Amino acid sequence: MNDFDRLSLELKLRNFSQKTVKAYQFRVNRFLSSIGKPSVEVSDLEIKEYVAGLLDREEPESVSQAISALKFFYLSVHKRDLVIPYPERPRSLPEVLTVEEVRRLLSAEDNLRHRLLLELLYGCGLRVSEAVKLPWDQVNFEEGLLTVREGKGRKDRHVMLPVSIRAKLKSYLDARSDDSPYVFNTRSGHLHVKSAQNIVEDAARRAGIKKNVTPHTLRHSYATHLLEAGTDIRIIQRLLGHSDIKTTQVYTQISTQLIKNVRSPLDSV
C-alpha cells in the first residue's frame, strides 16, 4: 500500500466529509508529486520550504488547508507530528447588507424559485451548499423549523423557518410534479453551487447594490441583523452551526447599529 492509499484509508476510518476527503487527497497528492523522494525521507525544513512556496502563489486560507492536510498525513501515516505555523489571515471584516439593501435585493428577483433561494439564504442563514442540497422533507411547516443535516463539521442543527415565506414555499413544493427530494432540484439532482452564486450576484446587480454580494454575504447579514435585533449571541452561534463562539463574535465587530446606539460620554457633559 503506497502513501496515498494509506492516507485515503485513514480518512475513511475517520469518516470525514467528502469535501474534506477530496481536499486532503488533492493537497497531499500535489505534495507527493512535487517532492521527488519518499515522503518519510522529507525533513521538516523541506516541508516548511514547500509551504513557503505555496504562500507565494496562493491565499493564506488555501495554504492553511494544505498545512492541515500535510499535518494529518504525517501524523496518521508516519506517526510524525509536524510543527508548522498557520499563516496569518487578513483581518478584514465580512461584507454585510443593510436591511434596506436586503429588501432591494429580494424585490429585484421576479423568479419565484430564485426568490425563495434568496429568502432561505438570508432568512435562515444557510450556507450555499446547505441551501442547494436542502431536502424538502427537512422543512417542517407545522413547527416552523428547517433541519440542516450534516452541515459544516457534519453537525445537524435546526433553524426557524420565516413566517413570511411558509405559505409561498409550501405552495411551491405542493405544485411540483417531480419526485426529486430537493427543494431546488434540477434534472441531474440539485441546484449547483455556482448557479446559486450567479442567482445572488444577478439579483444584486439588478438591485443596484455596489457591494460584492455572494450567498455568504446573506448569511453574514442574517447573523448581523439578528444581533442588532437583540438576539443572544449564543443563540446565533447555534443557528449558524458554529463550533466556537469566537467565530460568531466577529459579528459584534461588524454591527454598526450597535455602535450607533451607544451614547457618547460627550453628550452627557
**What cell does 234 get?**
449564543
**What cell does 183 get?**
427543494
Q: Which of 71, 60, 54, 55 is nearest to 7 (CA)?
A: 71
Q: How many residues does the chain have?
A: 269
Catalytic residues: 127, 152, 216, 219, 242, 251
254-260: which pairs have CB atoms within 8 A and are 24 or more residues apart?
A: 254/93, 254/94, 254/96, 254/220, 254/224, 255/224, 255/227, 255/228, 257/228, 258/227, 258/228
Rounded to an integer, what distance in angstroms lies between the CA atom of residue 244 and that of residue 236? 12
Report in angstroms the alpha-carbon separations of 10 from 4, 6, 25, 178: 10, 6, 11, 39
Q: Which of 90, 51, 52, 41 is nearest to 71 (CA)?
A: 51
Three-state SS for 184?
coil
Count of beta carbons in the 10 Å neighbourhood of residue 45 = 8
Can you name the residues that pair with 186 across neighbouring β-strands? 189
Three-state SS for 243?
coil
